[in-house]
Amino acid sequence: MNILVTGATRGIGKAIAKSLQGNIFAVGRNEELLREYRNYYVCDLTDNTGLKGLGEYIKANNIDILINNAGEYIYSPIEECSLDNISRIMKLNLEAPLYLISQAVPYMKLKGWGRIVNIGSISGVMGEACASLYSASKSGLIGGTKALALELAEFGITVNTINPGWVDTDMGNSSANNGDWSRDEIIECIPQRRFVAPSEVAGMVKYLISEDAKGVTGQSINLCAGLSVGC
């Protein structure tokens, strides 16, 4: 299997890329960190030229499993969000995944099989105050997943989104530190009283791309230690 993972240099993306079996194609912005992979592509997904180049790379390497993991979080009141902030978050978290899917689908259709897994966020399910850009982009990804699952079902292609809650990564810890609550206060609001481990997300990806999950498509799966249920 030819598996492409965006945002593969750290956190959830690295856990996913390291856990899967097959020809892994890692994508990220930091070439030095990407060099640990045999196949990699350096790309800033907010840059149209780079994004189009990655699309060609996907087609050239017959990618049949696409993991859209790269994303960015901004914690800010809406009145302090600039047009550049809005454009960047929507480009990275929503537009880029949809474009990469458009480039991967022709080969998947030809093969009659494919797997697409989008890494969303519980913030796209529940909403998060002072993170409206992030929540909106991830909510859009969930909507796109449902529509694409319907569109691609007859071709043997499944499309699903995993929505992590607070994850024990650099991004997750940085988000906790930059917000209005401490990590300990956040944990008190999580029913299991813990952050999710990146390996748990990787395990869910591993299941969704397997034949055991061939009947699972169009789903928005909350992997959040119970956060979506309530405190």
Q: Which is nearest to 64 in space by CA: 112, 134, 115, 19?
A: 115
Amino acid identity at 13? G
Percentage helix, strand, coil, to 5, in the chain? 50, 15, 35
Output DSSP code: residue 68: E
Catalytic residue among 41, 73, 134, 207: 134
CA quadruple 58, 105, 19, 89: dihedral positive or negative?
Answer: positive
Helix (H, G, I), strand (E, B) or coil at 62: coil
CB 164 within 8 A of CB 199: no
The reply to whether 134 belongs to the active site is yes
The residues annotated as belonging to the active site are 134
